[in-house]
Structure 1
Amino acid sequence: MVQTERMVDVIRGPICESWHSGFAVVTNAAGEVVEGWGDLDHVILPRSAVKMMQALPLVASGAADRAGLDDSQLAFACASHNGDPVHVAKARAWLETLGLGEDDLICGVQKPMGDKARHDMLRAGETPCRVHNNCSGKHCGFLTLSQDLKADGDYVNPDHPVQVAIREAIEAVTGEASLGYGIDGCSAPNYAATVRGLGRGLAYFAAARADGDAMARAAVRLREAMMAHPVLVAGEGRACTDLMRAAGGKAAIKTGAEGVFTAILPDQGLGVAVKIADGATRASECAIAALLVKLGVLDGNDPVVKKRLNPEVPNFAGIITGEIRPYAGFPA
């Protein structure tokens, strides 16, 4: 049986009616585990929580500079965005500079994740397209690297030079040989890692210096771009954006599907990773907030932080019936 740790409780009245368990790790600049919860050698798919790692070859190869990308585009390459107008405009403008169109994206069509953008689209009688996909920024980055490599347009093929470069970059920063992959929601391969390896990869980003080698310099640029443009990484009302703003430049924070959350803490040289075993976002947001409060990056009394750390549970009449909160023993 896989060893997990209880992390988040769901309270109704005086009763804990549900709880979530999972895995978490805090890793230092030397790649050592500072604290861990659950089986750290358990293999997971980190999903979109490692988009900054998937963007490493784009920057480290020099392709980003040759294409004239700015920091806002580097942040967008790491995004799981709402599909708001600001995100759609960014994707379309990027594709135009490449001489490409929406049909060149292989991410698939997705309705905007943001409520306002989705409702506005319905009212206008419009239909979603590929630029609305939350991964369109990542795919613009893939296309940029593919053009630079003079490779074909099937950039999500695991044997394509873009994906080979990504796999090699992830192996380098996690310190692990490839553990296989699953095909993500956007059709790109998502390379597996142990919880320990994921933490090590995030700590690499945290410890990277601007006077390091090409990979380290790329890590610095990507983490700084994320922190400088939090709205492009997710969108208004999203946990990544809200928590990065609350951290005030002390953390680059990224969510992933199925209960994954990651954080890069440059000032402390720490990487933080969370994986909730049942995939619940409500639990992963609470757990990452709790860890970042413990590490001094977030203020637990900040209303934006409390919204994720201790969200209230209302009923249909608006009566507060309980709350979601970190388990009493997490993080110790």
Structure 2
Amino acid sequence: MTAARLIELWRGGLRESSHLGHVVISDADGVVEAWGNPGTVIFPRSSCKMIQALPLVESGAADAVGLGPEHLALACGSHNGARSHVDRVEAWLSGLGFEDEDLRCGAHMPRDPQEYRRLLCSDASPCQVHNNCSGKHAGFLTLKRHINAGPEYVELDHPVQRAVRRAFEEVTGETAAGWGLDGCSAPNFACTVEGLARAMAGFARPRSGKRGAAQRRLFEAMAAHPDLVAGEGRACTDLMRAMRGRAVVKTGAEAVFVAIVPERGLGVALKVSDGGTRGAEAAITALMVHLGLLSAEDPVVAKYLTGPIRNWRGFETGEMRCASGFPN
């Protein structure tokens, strides 16, 4: 089965571009709705950070050092590198006796405009805490410390990553189809779009025991702190705020998006084939409207899907639309 046409860009009454991809909505029993090929193998990239954070909570490492919802939201997040993010990660590391050099995620300029400008104007270099994945890596360091493992926690055979892989394969219900090195230097394990949606459905209706308790805590942390999962002006934060805790969404590089919907017991996973963020943000917005979590008239829907596209003079030049049949 080939990729389905999901989102279209129209200009002057003609379809100019199309975003194709694969989408699965799953519950605990399996696929509820799908577009494209549910069996397509993908790298979830940062969309699976709540899975990567499961060993942090299940092991007792989070409780041993008193991590709260803000820490867990950062562990699941891809933050903007704003001071609100950086200060929290720095305090987290300092409280455990770690420094920036203990991270293995690398440094990049922050996405947050104010912090970017501060660094640029002061001729200062970004630190690793500015990395959008520094919260996830602070979680890895916390687990590493708890199990008394070595410093190279991003290596494939390190106990931290072995625990992450076990959790990943258990919640997706699949043996990892392979692995690749993520932008933050941590292994990223491959699965099908269906497997990723199945994993999110598990978070939506957690079972009893340590796994279910961890899934519930991570969902609640993300829902309570959407600003720490991404940041101002980001689709994850904007959409979660608009849904007021009814669902959480999380993006990943190369146009992956997931959603967890507890009130319906549903997990959602999508991959836009061209890797374009625009198409993925529009598609996840359309799906949240489809599932009754957002009104079609909500301003956030206009921002990411239905609002007119304007040029630099403010003239309307086109629009994005859902392709015929997506969503039904």
Task: Report the equivalent of 1:138.
Answer: 136
Distance 1:289 1:229 in 2: 19
Task: Tell me if structure 2 keeps the 8 A contact 1:246–1:305.
Answer: no
Distance 2:70 2:233 in 1: 19
Distance 1:49 1:117 in 2: 24
TM-score under structure 1 normalisation? 0.97
Q: What is the DSSP-based 3-state SS (H/G/I as helix, E as strand, rest coil) of the residue aligned with 2:263?
A: coil
Q: Which runs of 5+ in 1 are unaligned?
A: none
1:155 aligns with 2:153: yes
Distance 2:65 2:307 in 1: 43
Q: How do 1:37-56 residues align onto structure 2 when only pairs under 5 Å count?
A: 37-56=35-54
Q: What is the DSSP-based 3-state SS (H/G/I as helix, E as strand, rest coil) of the residue aligned with 1:330?
A: coil
Task: Tell me if structure 2 keeps the 8 A contact 1:311–1:325.
Answer: no
1:120 aligns with 2:114: no
Number of aligned residue pairs: give it.
328
Shift of 1:154: 0.2
Task: Tell me if structure 2 keeps the 8 A contact 1:29–1:204.
Answer: yes
1:92-132 CA deviation, whole Å, 9 max, x = no partner?
Answer: 00100110100001000111012332123222332211010
Distance 1:305 1:251 in 2: 15
Distance 1:326 1:119, change over 3 A: farther
TM-score under structure 2 normalisation? 0.98
Task: Report the equivalent of 1:303.
Answer: 299
Shift of 1:253: 0.8
1:240 aligns with 2:236: yes
Match 1:276 to one of 262, 265, 272: 272
The letter of the residue matching 2:272 is: I
Shift of 1:15: 1.3
Q: What is the DSSP-based 3-state SS (H/G/I as helix, E as strand, rest coil) of the residue aligned with 1:236?
A: coil
Q: What is the DSSP-based 3-state SS (H/G/I as helix, E as strand, rest coil) of the residue aligned with 1:267?
A: helix
Distance 1:119 1:309 in 2: 30
Task: Report the equivalent of 1:166.
Answer: 164
RMSD: 1.0
Match 1:316 to one of 309, 312, 322: 312
Task: Report the equivalent of 2:5.
Answer: 6
1:59-96 CA deviation, whole Å, 9 max, x = no partner?
Answer: 01111000110011000000100000000001100100
Match 2:193 to one of 173, 190, 195: 195
Task: Report the equivalent of 2:23.
Answer: 24
Q: What is the DSSP-based 3-state SS (H/G/I as helix, E as strand, rest coil) of the residue aligned with 2:218?
A: helix
Distance 1:256 1:123 in 2: 30
Task: Report the equivalent of 1:86.
Answer: 84
Shift of 1:242: 0.5
Task: Report the equivalent of 1:102.
Answer: 100
Task: Tell me if structure 2 keeps the 8 A contact 1:300–1:309.
Answer: no
Shift of 1:305: 2.4
Shift of 1:141: 0.1
Q: Which runs of 4+ in 1 moved over 6 A?
A: none
The letter of the residue matching 1:5 is: A
Task: Tell me if structure 2 keeps the 8 A contact 1:81–1:233.
Answer: yes
The letter of the residue matching 1:318 is: G
Shift of 1:311: 3.9
- Please, which moves more after superposition, 299-308 or 312-321? 312-321
Task: Report the equivalent of 2:324.
Answer: 328
Q: What is the DSSP-based 3-state SS (H/G/I as helix, E as strand, rest coil) of the residue aligned with 2:259?
A: strand
The letter of the residue matching 1:9 is: E
Distance 1:35 1:24 in 2: 8
Shift of 1:315: 1.8
Task: Tell me if structure 2 keeps the 8 A contact 1:205–1:264.
Answer: yes
Distance 2:217 2:111 in 1: 27
Q: What is the DSSP-based 3-state SS (H/G/I as helix, E as strand, rest coil) of the residue aligned with 1:59?
A: helix
Q: What is the DSSP-based 3-state SS (H/G/I as helix, E as strand, rest coil) of the residue aligned with 1:250?
A: coil
Distance 2:71 2:145 in 1: 16
Distance 2:122 2:225 in 1: 29
Task: Tell me if structure 1 keeps the 8 A contact 2:301–2:307.
Answer: no
The letter of the residue matching 2:28 is: A
Indicate the percent of aligned positions where both proteins have the same amino acid.
54
Task: Report the equivalent of 1:35.
Answer: 33
Distance 1:116 1:328, change over 3 A: farther
